[in-house]
């Protein structure tokens, strides 16, 4: 395609600047052509036909004088610089018309293709008016993006010709993990730990220093009831104790090939990132030190240990653009790196796929060495399809074979887990939607039992 034809095609696709005929003008020419075709049966001359078309075209150009000049329209985009993945956000385009002419418009913002694109947005602006136009969009893929242009098209009230502008509005936008669960924990930890609507996974209160007096919930130790406050407030109150702070926790995030497996919403890595940030927030809120290590074939990101809620922003800004690598994870290399970096006793919280990890027999050697100094806990996401296959009724031979293989795989996993757990290496699994809850619950349990 030659350069000029590319330019015209780009104009029709909101990708260039210039002047275009509107649908109204094209319809006028279609009707004019039909009328002239009917008159052709009476033998009108071709010169008359051409002259009429040229005259109509020239008269239509008068419409351009009743639309604003490009310099008379100013634009400003207002948006949130950080969007959480999968959540809807509002973008605002402010249009200032300083001309004496009203016009109708349509525009396409230069968002990446991974964003929700409710375009074109249409409307009209009066003479000398300023208008704010809002639309909603959703970022579905984490990362950092550049938004460079706004493609704007407008016409006068006659609407015969359209002017198209390529407006430079360069801005940067980040799509970060969904922090809904993190906010839920920080707002109300007890409510966050409500597991499947049946049982509350609460802080244990058997040891440690006195922290606060709170309302009694089902499952609390009756011996911790504060009867004086109960009588005063006419509500059952209980004492809450917490362990000493200043412990170390290292979060290990697997970014290998298997973590790209799709779930109902997102993939395993997406759920792992959300759970990692939530458990990091829980530890930082309690005054512990948190470090994070992301890896696949080699170490991708390492965030040294620090405490304080401001460290959560450091973790978030370092991990928001992590993606799955199309390689197998090298656990041995990562554990060797960790052995040299983390000298103090720490809780090693590994988010990975347990079934894949159990096949790495040589990794046990590195973990035995780490186990002498650190406490190891691995959390994975349950394979729902495997569990469903194991429970299915075998009505046919093919289904019976599938059920048999699924049960065999589950038995292998249970046997291998018992082998690793006998070495003091704990492993657990949870459904994707409860991964953050399970991680925080196990962290609180370990801290309250003073296992570090």
Query: CB–CB of 97/193 below 8 Å?
Result: no
d(CA 253, CA 294): 5
How many angstroms separate the first and last alpha carbons of the chain? 68
Beta bridge partners of 175: 83, 143
Asked if residue 361 has a cis previous peptide bond (ω within 30° of 0), the answer is no
pLDDT of residue 174: 93
Query: CB–CB of 57/19 below 8 Å?
Result: no
pLDDT of residue 196: 40
| pLDDT class of 244 with cuts at 50, 70, 90 | low
Average pLDDT of the chain to the nearest whole number? 84
**pLDDT value at 396 more than 70:** yes
Give me the sign of the Cα torsion angle 96, 97, 102, 105.
negative
d(CA 357, CA 225): 44
The more confidently predicted of residues 300 and 447 is 300
**pLDDT value at 200 more than 50:** no
**pLDDT value at 13 more than 50:** yes
Could you identify the residue written with the tokens 């893929």? 141
pLDDT of residue 145: 93
| pLDDT class of 138 with cuts at 50, 70, 90 | very high
For residue 374, the 8-state DSSP code is S
The stretch 301-330 carries a mean pLDDT of: 92
Give me the sign of the Cα torsion angle 442, 444, 447, 448.
negative
**pLDDT value at 204 more than 60:** no
The stretch 315-336 carries a mean pLDDT of: 89
User: What is the CB neighbour count within 10 angstroms for residue 52?
Assistant: 15
What is the pTM (predicted TM-score) of this model? 0.77
The more confidently predicted of residues 418 and 75 is 75
Enter the tokens of residue 177: 């993990």
The stretch 160-177 carries a mean pLDDT of: 90
Triad 97, 98, 102: Cα angle to 5°: 55
The more confidently predicted of residues 359 and 430 is 430
Length of the chain measured in residues:
452
pLDDT of residue 271: 93
Enter the tokens of residue 234: 């006419």
User: What is the CB neighbour count within 10 angstroms for residue 186?
Assistant: 17
Which of helix, strand or coil describes residue 73? Answer: strand
pLDDT of residue 203: 46
Looking only at the bridges linking them, the beta strands covering 248-254 and 289-295 are: parallel
**pLDDT value at 90 more than 50:** yes
Which of helix, strand or coil describes residue 407? Answer: helix
* High-pLDDT (> 90) share of the chain, %: 30
Most trustworthy range by pLDDT among 277-281, 341-345, 406-410, 429-433? 277-281
Beta bridge partners of 252: 293, 350
* High-pLDDT (> 70) share of the chain, %: 91
The stretch 369-384 carries a mean pLDDT of: 87
Sequence-distant (≥ 6) Cβ neighbours of residue 52 within 8 angstroms: 32, 36
| pLDDT class of 7 with cuts at 50, 70, 90 | low
Enter the tokens of residue 286: 């309690």
pLDDT of residue 421: 79
The stretch 68-79 carries a mean pLDDT of: 91
The stretch 43-68 carries a mean pLDDT of: 79
């Amino acid at each position: 395609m030659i350069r000029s034809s590319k330019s015209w095609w780009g104009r029709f696709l909101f990708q260039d600047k210039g002047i275009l005929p509107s649908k109204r003008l094209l319809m006028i020419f279609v009707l004019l052509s039909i009328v002239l075709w009917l008159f052709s049966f009476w033998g009108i001359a071709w010169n008359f036909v051409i002259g009429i078309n040229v005259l109509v075209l020239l008269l239509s150009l008068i419409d351009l004088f009743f639309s604003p000049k490009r310099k008379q329209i100013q634009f400003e985009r207002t948006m949130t610089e950080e969007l959480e993945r999968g959540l809807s956000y509002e973008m605002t385009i402010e249009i200032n018309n300083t001309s004496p002419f009203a016009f109708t418009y349509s525009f396409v913002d230069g968002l990446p293709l991974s964003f929700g694109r409710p375009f074109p947005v249409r409307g009209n602006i009066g003479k000398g008016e300023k208008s704010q136009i809002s639309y909603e969009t959703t970022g579905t893929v984490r990362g950092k993006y550049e938004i460079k242009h706004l493609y704007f098209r407008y016409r006068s009230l006659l609407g015969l010709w359209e002017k198209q502008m390529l407006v430079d509005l360069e801005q940067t936008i980040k799509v970060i993990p969904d922090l809904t669960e993190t906010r839920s924990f920080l707002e109300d930890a007890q409510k966050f730990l409500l597991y499947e609507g049946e049982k509350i996974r609460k802080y244990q209160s058997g040891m440690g220093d006195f922290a606060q007096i709170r309302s009694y919930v089902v499952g609390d130790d009756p011996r911790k009831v504060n009867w004086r406050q109960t009588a005063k407030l006419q509500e059952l109150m209980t004492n809450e104790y917490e362990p000493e702070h200043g412990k170390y926790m290292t979060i290990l995030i697997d970014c290998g090939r298997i973590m790209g497996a799709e779930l109902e919403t997102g993939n395993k890595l997406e759920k792992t990132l959300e759970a990692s940030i939530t458990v990091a927030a829980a530890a930082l809120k309690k005054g512990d030190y948190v470090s994070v290590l992301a890896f696949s074939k080699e170490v991708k990101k390492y965030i040294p240990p620090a405490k304080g809620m401001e460290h959560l922003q450091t973790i978030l800004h370092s991990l928001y653009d992590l993606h799955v690598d199309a390689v197998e994870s090298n656990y041995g290399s990562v554990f060797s790196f960790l052995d040299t970096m983390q000298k103090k006793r720490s809780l090693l919280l590994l988010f990975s796929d347990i079934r894949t990890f159990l096949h790495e027999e040589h990794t046990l050697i590195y973990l035995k060495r780490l186990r002498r100094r650190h406490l190891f806990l691995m959390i994975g996401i349950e394979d729902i399809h495997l569990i469903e296959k194991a429970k299915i009724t075998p009505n046919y031979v093919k289904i019976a074979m599938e059920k048999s293989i699924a049960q065999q795989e589950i038995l292998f996993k249970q046997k291998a887990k018992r082998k690793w757990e006998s070495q003091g290496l704990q492993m657990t699994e949870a459904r994707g939607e409860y991964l953050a809850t399970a991680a925080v619950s196990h962290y609180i349990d370990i801290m309250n039992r003073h296992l570090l």
